[in-house]
Amino acid sequence: MGSNVFRFPVQLVFGEGCLEELKTFVSGFGKHALLVTGSGPTRSLPAVEAVLATLQSEGISCTRFHGVEADPSVETVEAGAEMARENGCDFVIGLGGGSPMDAAKAIAARLTNPGPITEWAGVGNLRKRARPIICIPTTAGTGSEATSIAVITDRKRKQKMSVVSQHIYPTLSLVDPTLAARMPPQLTAATAMDALTHAVESYVSRRSWAPTQGLSYRAVQLIAANLEKACADGDDMEARRNLSMASMIAGVAFTNAGLGLCHAMAHALGSFCGVAHGVANAVLLPSVMRFNLPSRPALFRELAQAMGEDVSGMPAESAGAKSVKAVEELLSRLPLPRSLSELGIKANSLEVLASEAFLNTRLRSSNPRETVLEDVVGVFRSALG
């Protein structure tokens, strides 16, 4: 029997208004910050102004890099690192959704590690600790504030690379649920479905164990109980708080237990078809769960319970199937597409998508069921609708 390791070096601060506490933590980080935000509306969020004011009051100068697109590219990371070098930045702050936070991690890593960034893909390929990183999420789904992972896109090869290294854990993350309260219902649903996928995949992962399962299970409970409320009433702060909590703790779980087939397939859909990550996971998750169910029926049974299903007296596999049904029913009530066809994906592209997904190491390291290429094609087909 091998041993298990639970690693978590991030200082997490959580709560409404906790962004104000940046001033109590930031003084040890250095004298010059690089603030990384998205290229869209996030570049002018009130939170950006609040961070700038705090830095100024603490005597820390700040260079702004607001060129991060959805699914940040290798070129974007290089441009951000160049700007940080030119301005002598000591640390990097990523503010926004998963893309700016992942870009911030990779920029901080590029300041201490040689390129090319394309050679960082996979686990443990960074030699040196990144410059200190602060993450401030403004969505509730990615969990990047709690993980050792940055997803960077190699546009030349049409490939989403997961850079996984203990050297890119954030030093500090401030998770203020009020920042995610600005999300419209569709973005709320898509990001929360990403978090639900993190929770489900880490729960049934080959690498899951009690410390990660406790976090994954709680995240599933919180999302099942709060997602519709947050979509129906964006001002429901209790629902918002619970989704931010779920996203964060699912991040702690999956950075330790890994993800699986759904993320492998979602990354292929993102790389080749530009489908937003949360939407891709939402469309694929029921089909992937149905495929994986025979390998871990008892764990899927527990997932059904976490989603509020009554499975008393039922055999494990049929009880586990209720978790798939529960996810499908939840999706039917959300403002999201429900099939690959609705996303414009054609049957003749499934083989190429499956071949790309099949290369993902998650299929071998953490997905619970042994998977051959034909299986991946089959799961894509069942999600076609």
> Which of 102, 145, 176, 194: binder of Fe ion (CB under 5 A)?
194
- For Fe ion, which is the closer residue by CB, 19 or 200? 200
- For Fe ion, which is the closer residue by CB, 132 or 278? 278
- For Fe ion, which is the closer residue by CB, 160 or 322? 160
Smallest separation (angstroms) from Fe ion to the CB of 110: 22
With a CB cutoff of 8 Å and minimum separation 6, the contacts of 93 are: 33, 34, 35, 36, 51, 104, 133, 134, 135, 136
Smallest separation (angstroms) from Fe ion to the CB of 263: 6
Smallest separation (angstroms) from Fe ion to the CB of 267: 9
Smallest separation (angstroms) from Fe ion to the CB of 150: 12
Cα angle 328, 334, 337; round to 5: 75
Smallest separation (angstroms) from Fe ion to the CB of 374: 25
Q: According to the binding rule CB under 5 A, does residue 145 interact with Fe ion?
A: no
- For Fe ion, which is the closer residue by CB, 194 or 309? 194
- For Fe ion, which is the closer residue by CB, 102 or 194? 194
- For Fe ion, which is the closer residue by CB, 176 or 194? 194
φ, ψ for residue 287 (rounded to 5)?
Answer: -65, -40
Q: Number of residues interacting with Fe ion: please give it, by CB under 5 A.
A: 1
Smallest separation (angstroms) from Fe ion to the CB of 147: 10
- For the beta sheet containing 149-154, the strands, ordered from the edge strand earlier in sequence to the opposite edge, are 122-123, 159-164, 149-154
CB neighbours of residue 313 within 10 Å: 6
Position of minimal CB gap to Fe ion: 194
Name the segment binding Fe ion (CB under 5 A); options: 156-164, 188-196, 238-246, 267-275.
Answer: 188-196
Name the segment binding Fe ion (CB under 5 A); options: 88-96, 177-185, 190-198, 248-256.
Answer: 190-198
Beta strand 159-164 pairing with 149-154: antiparallel
Helix (H) or strand (E) holding 12: strand 11-14
- For Fe ion, which is the closer residue by CB, 145 or 194? 194
147-150 long-range Cβ contacts below 8 angstroms, 24+ apart: 147/251, 147/252, 147/254, 147/255, 148/7, 148/255, 149/102, 149/255, 150/102, 150/103, 150/105, 150/106, 150/109
Contacts to Fe ion by CB under 5 A: 194
